[in-house]
Structure 1
Amino acid sequence: FAREKGYFKGKDDEFSFADAYAPYDRHNIRFCEARVWSIYRRAAPSMSLPWQLIEGKDTTARLPLWIKPDKPLTLKEVMSLMRDHYEGTPLDMRKGVAAGPSGIPYRWRPLTWKTDGKEYFHERAISTQQTAFSFVAQCRRSLPSPIGGVLWFGVDDTYSTVYTPFYCCLSHVPTGYKQGNGTLFQYSDSAAFWLFNRVSHLAYLHYHLMIEDIRTIQSAIEDSLILLQPEIEKEALGIYRNNPGHAVGYLTAYSCQKADELCNRWKKLFEELLVKYLDGNVKTQPGECSHPGYPEWWYRIISKESGCFY
C-alpha cells in the first residue's frame, strides 16, 4: 500500500512505518514526540535520554517504540506521569517571559505564529488547558471483569484534575459527568467539566500560588480513594460471588457517590480560592493579608521598559 501511494520506494528491509506514514519534521517532533520523551525520561531516568532527541534539529533521531520503566509503577505514579510541563528540562514551560510573572506553564493558542517574517511556536506539553478529559486505565485479570477494570477519570487539564474511579461495570453515569449536562458552549454548575475549568481558569491569575492549594487537595483526594480501593473491592468481590448483578449495583453506587462528592468539593474550592486570592492579595488567615507582588526579574523588565515613567 505504501508503495502504491508513493510513500515508500526502497527495499522491503528498509521500510519504516513511521517514516512512510508520519515523516518527522520539527513541528511533530516538538508537538508530539516531546511528550513521549517526557514520560520516558521520568519512567526510566536510567536511560538518560537526551533532550536533543526531541529538539527538532535532527529529524533522523528516533525515540524507542517502547521502554521498560526502571521499576514497577504504582497507580499514583502513572497519574503523575500524566501531569507534565517539561519541568526541570530545557523546555520547562514555567520559565521565561512567556510564562509571565506567575510562572504559568500554559500558552494560549494559536500554537504557531509569525512575527517579523519568522515562524515560531509554543511548546505542547502533556498537561494542556484544552484537555477535555483524560484517564488512567487499571486492568487486573486477577479479579472478575466488573471489579478488575477501572477508569480513573478526570476532566479538564491533567495537572489540576482529580482522577476518580469509574468501574467498567457502571450501569449509569454520575450526574456531573453525563452527556448533555452542559456543553462547550453552555455552562452548567453541576457539570464536572465546568466545575474543574472554573477552578483552573481562576488559577491562571496567580498560578504559582493557587496551584499549590489545588494540588494539595487533589493529592489528598486521590490518596484517599486509592487507600479505600482494597476495602471497596473486597466487599464487591464478596457480593459478586453471591450475586454478580448486586456487585454491579454496589460499584455503580460507589463510583457515583465519589464523583458527586468530588464535584461538590470543587464547587467549594472555587469559593475558597476566590476569597483567598481576591484582587491579587493573599489572605493568610482571618483578618490578615499579604501582598505577594511580582518576582524581581519581572520588576526589572518593567523598569527597563518604562524608563522615566516610574
Structure 2
Amino acid sequence: MKRMQLLTGIMAAGLTLGPVISARACTTVLVGKDASQDGSTLIARNEDVDTAWAKHFVVHPATSNGPTEYVSKDNGFKVTVPGAGLRYTATPDWQQKDGQDQFSEDGINSANVAMSATESGTTNKKAQKADPFVKDGIAETSMVDVVLPYIHSAKEGVEYLGKIVEEKGSAENNGVIFSDKNSIWYMEIGSGHTWAAVRVPNDKYAVIANQTSIGTLKLNDHANYLASPGLAKFVKRHHLAQVTQNRVNYAQAFGTNNKLDATYNWPRVWDGQRLLTPSKKQSIKQHDLALFMKPDQKISVATVQRVLASHFNGTKYDSNGKWVGGYRPINVPTDVESHILQIRNDVPAEIAGVQWLAMASPATSVYVPFYTNVNTTPYQYQSGTDQPDQSSAYWTYKLTRVLTDPYRNKLINKDVRPAQKKLNHQLQVNLKQSDQTAQQLTGSALSDYLAQQNQQNADLAQNTFEKLNQKLIVDSSRQTKIVHHQDL
C-alpha cells in the first residue's frame, strides 16, 4: 500500500498497530464553540506524510443516483453506500489509485458537517490479540469518501462510521473527528471492530497526538459518549481494563503508555496545553495530561494556527534551537497540509463553513480561508505531484520551507513572519468583506461568488509567497561565507 510501512522501531518498543501502519503521524486540535472566540466549532489537524508529497483541494458534487458500492483500490475494502450523497470538499493526495482518490483527509459537506480523518493511533498487543485489525477493513485511505457525503450531523457521523467498523472491520487504529455548528465528537477505533467516541465539552479544547486518548466512558450517558455494542463486556471478558457501573477507561483498555509515547506523543499535548492554558504548570514528561482543558482565553482561528505551527517555540525543547530531549514537535518537515475546519454560528448557514488550508508546513505557510459552499476550487490547489513545479500551491509553500531550513530562525523572523502577519490580516479583512456581500446573494449566484473569492484569496496568498521566495533566495545566498577578497 502506498506509504504504508512497518515501523520497526515502534514494533521493537512493543506496540502493535495492525499488520501495517500508516506513515502519517498527525496532531489534532479541537475547540468547543464556547471556548472559541466567535462561537464557532473548530477542528484542526496537521497531516504529516513526507517531505515532498503534494496535496490537492477539491470539491465533489452532490449525487442523486450514484454508485451504491464503494470498493477501495488500495486495500480491497468494500461497503454499500447510498445512491444519494451530499456535496463535500476534500484534500486528497496528488496520486490516485487507478483513478480513485486516496487519503481525502478532511472536508465540509453541504449540511455543514465537517470531518477530519485520521489521527493515527496505537493499540496494545493484548487488545489486538483479542480483536485483530482486518486487512480489508476500512482504512484512512477511504474514510472521508465513504462517510462525509452521507451524514447530516457530527453525532450521525460517529454512528455511521461506527456501524461500518462493526460490520466490515477496521484496518487500523484511527482517531476521527466530526463537527457541526453545535458540537464536536472525537472517535477512536481501538481494534478490529471496537470503537468509542466522546463529545467535546463546549467550553473546552483538546490537543491530541498519536495515542489512544479517550479516558473513562460513561456508557449510560448517550448524550456525551458512544461506543460499539457490547464494549464493556468485551473489555471485561478479555481482561483489558476494569469495568465498574458500566464505565470503562478506553485508553487503558486499548491504548499504550510507554517510552515511545513519552518522547513522541505526550510532549505535543504538553506543548499545545502550554500555549492555550499557560496558567496550568505541567511537565513535558507528564503522562497523565487531561484530554480536555479550559483555555485561559477564548481561542481564535489564529490561535489554533499558532499551535499547529509550534515546534516548542520559546522553550529549551525548541527543535529549531537546542532541541533538548529530542522530543517530537507538533510542526515537522513532513507536514503536507494543515487544516482548520470552522463551522460558524454568527453568519447564515450558506456561508458558515470555512476550510482554512495551509499547504506544506504551517510554520512557513499561510492558512487561506476557503468557503465550502462552492462547486469548484482554486486551480493551483488542483495540481502538484511529488516533483517540484512553479505553479501549484503545495510547491510554492514548500519552497518557502526549503529556503528557510538552513537559516531557520534568522530568515523566518526576518522575512517570513512579517509577510505572514500582513497577509493574515488582509485575508481576515477579505473574509469579513465577502461575508457581507455574500449575504445579499442566493443560489448559483452565491456559490459562484464564493468560488471567485476563494480564487482571489488563493491568488493573493500565492503571489505574496512567490515574492517572498524570491527575497529568500537572495537573503539565503548572502548567508554564505565570502571566500575572496572583496577589494580584488
TM-score range, shorter chain: 0.7 to 0.9
Contact 1:190 1:263 in 2 (8 A): no
Structure 1 residue 47, shift from structure 2 partner: 1.7
Give the structure 1 partner of residue 280 of structure 2: 47
Q: Who is 1:305 aligned against?
A: none
Distance 1:248 1:38, change over 3 A: same
Q: Partner of 2:372 in structure 1?
A: 168
Partner Cα distance (2:433, 2:302) in 1: 18
User: Equivalences for 1:1-310 in 2 at 5 Å?
Assistant: 1=231, 2-3=234-235, 6=238, 8-12=240-244, 15-53=248-286, 61-96=287-322, 122-178=326-382, 181-184=383-386, 186-212=387-413, 213-239=415-441, 243-281=442-480
Contact 2:279 2:296 in 1 (8 A): yes
Cα distance between partner residues in 2 of 1:46 and 1:276: 39
CA distance in 1, matches of 2:477, 2:268: 35
Q: Which letter does structure 1 place at the counterpart of 2:477?
A: L
Tell me the CA shift for residue 32 of structure 1: 2.0
1:46–1:70: 8 Å Cα contact kept in structure 2? yes
Partner of 2:279, secondary structure, is helix
Contact 2:241–2:252 (8 Å) recurs in 1 = no
Structure-1 separation of matches of 2:417 and 2:480: 20
Q: State the alpha-carbon separation in 1 of the partners of residues 242 and 472 from structure 2.
A: 60
Identical pairs, percent: 23
Q: CA deviation at 1:7?
A: 6.1
CA distance 1:6–1:140, change in 2 (3 Å): same
1:107: which partner in 2? Answer: none
Between Structure 1 and Structure 2, the one with more helix by share is: 1
Aligned residue number for residue 111 of structure 1: none
Q: Work out the CA distance in 2 between the residues paired with 1:262 and 1:49.
A: 37
Q: Decide whether the 8 Å contact of 2:235 with 2:253 is kept in 1.
A: no
Would the alpha carbon gap of residues 267 and 45 (structure 1) be closer, same or farther in structure 2, given more than 3 Å must change?
same
Structure 1 residue 94, shift from structure 2 partner: 2.9
> Which structure ranks higher in relative contact order (CA pairs < 8 Å, sequence separation ≥ 6)?
2
Distance 2:430 2:463 in 1: 19
C-alpha contact 2:266 2:285 (8 A) present in aligned 1: no
Q: Conserved in 2, the CA contact under 8 Å of 1:137 and 1:149?
A: yes
Looking at structure 2, the residues matched to 226 and 196 of structure 1 have their Cα atoms a distance apart, in angstroms, of 19
Q: Distance in 2 between matches of 1:75 and 1:260?
A: 21
1:146 and 1:167 in contact (8 A); partners too: no
Quickly say closer, same or farther: Cα 1:176–1:65, change in 2 above 3 A.
Answer: same
Change (3 A) 1:88 1:271: closer
Identify the range of structure 1 (140-149 vs 226-235) with the bigger mean alpha-carbon deviation: 140-149
Structure 1 length-normalised TM: 0.73
What's 2:224 paired with?
none
Following superposition, the deviation at residue 90 of structure 1 comes to: 4.1
**How has the CA–CA distance of structure 1 residues 187 and 93 changed in structure 2, closer, same or farther, with 3 Å as cutoff?**
closer
80-89 or 158-167, which deviates more: 80-89
Name stretches of at least 5 consecutive residues in structure 2 with no aligned partner: 1-230
3-state SS of paired residue (1:203): helix
* Amino acid paired to 1:164: V
Structure 1 position 122, deviation (Å): 3.9
Q: Is the 8 A contact 1:138 1:149 kept in 2?
A: yes
What amino acid is the match of 2:328? R
Q: How much does 1:154 deviate?
A: 0.7
- 1:147 partner letter: I
Structure 1 residue 143, shift from structure 2 partner: 2.2
Specify the SS of the correspondent of 2:362. Answer: coil
4+ residue runs over 6 A deviation? none
Shift of the alpha carbon at 1:5?
Answer: 8.1
Counterpart CA distance in 1 for 2:346 and 2:265 is: 34
Distance 1:33 1:263, change over 3 A: same
Structure 1, unpaired ranges of 5+: 54-60, 100-120, 283-288, 290-310
Aligned CA distance change for structure 1 residues 168 and 7 (closer, same or farther; 3 Å): farther
Structure with more of its chain in strand, by fraction? 2
- 3-state DSSP of counterpart to 1:137: strand
TM-score by length of 2: 0.48
1:48-76 superposed Cα distances (whole Å, 9 cap, x missing partner): 223331xxxxxxx3111101111212222
User: What amino acid maps onto 2:303 in structure 1?
Assistant: E
C-alpha spacing 1:26/1:233, structure 2 compared with 1 (3 Å): same
**Does structure 2 conserve the Cα–Cα contact (< 8 Å) formed by 1:146 and 1:168?**
no
Q: Judge conservation of contact 2:419–2:464 (CA < 8 Å) in 1.
A: no
Paired residues, number: 248
What letter is aligned with 1:162? Answer: V
